[in-house]
Structure formats: structure tokens, C-alpha cells
């Protein structure tokens, strides 16, 4: 069994701090972000390839129309 429920792999992460996008894997455990690490380092039971996509894990739900954490550039 992998350490995380879901790993969103190879995305460009927008962390909400204003810094530039950065390549990373984002791991989920239950309904929480459990880890953000270099691409290819995290293992999950389910993996989503986000190559060419932006991952915005901190996007506020109350203002976000799409329900997906992954959106096209």
C-alpha cells in the first residue's frame, strides 16, 4: 500500500503565495494535502498525470467555479 491516497504528478503548482509556478507532485491523504515534493518522489494508490496542467491546491472553494484542482493553462 502506498503512503498516500492520491498523487497528482508532474504538475506546475500555484501555491497562492505569489511566487512563480514550480514543478511538483501533490499528495492527498483523505481530503487533505499531505505532501508537496519534487516530481517523481511521492507514491500514491491512485496517480493523476498533470503534465501540462496547473495544480492550485490552495484555491478557495467559495470563489472557485470548477470543482477540479487541476485546470488547463
Structural domains in the chain plus CATH codes: 4-54 (2.30.40.10)
> For residue range 14-70, what is the model confidence (pLDDT) as tens digits?
988 888 999 999 999 998 899 999 999 999 999 999 999 999 876 554 444 444 444
φ, ψ for residue 58, nearest 5 deg: -100, 10
The SS3 of residue 63 is helix
- What's the predicted TM-score (pTM) here? 0.74
Amino acid at each position: 500500500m502506498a503512503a498516500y491516497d492520491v498523487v497528482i504528478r508532474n504538475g506546475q503548482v500555484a501555491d497562492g503565495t505569489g511566487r512563480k509556478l514550480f514543478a511538483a507532485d501533490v499528495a492527498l491523504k483523505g481530503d487533505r494535502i499531505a505532501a508537496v515534493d519534487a516530481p517523481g518522489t511521492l507514491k500514491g494508490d491512485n496517480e493523476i498525470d498533470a503534465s501540462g496542467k496547473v495544480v492550485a491546491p490552495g484555491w478557495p472553494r467559495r470563489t472557485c467555479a470548477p470543482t477540479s484542482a487541476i485546470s488547463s493553462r
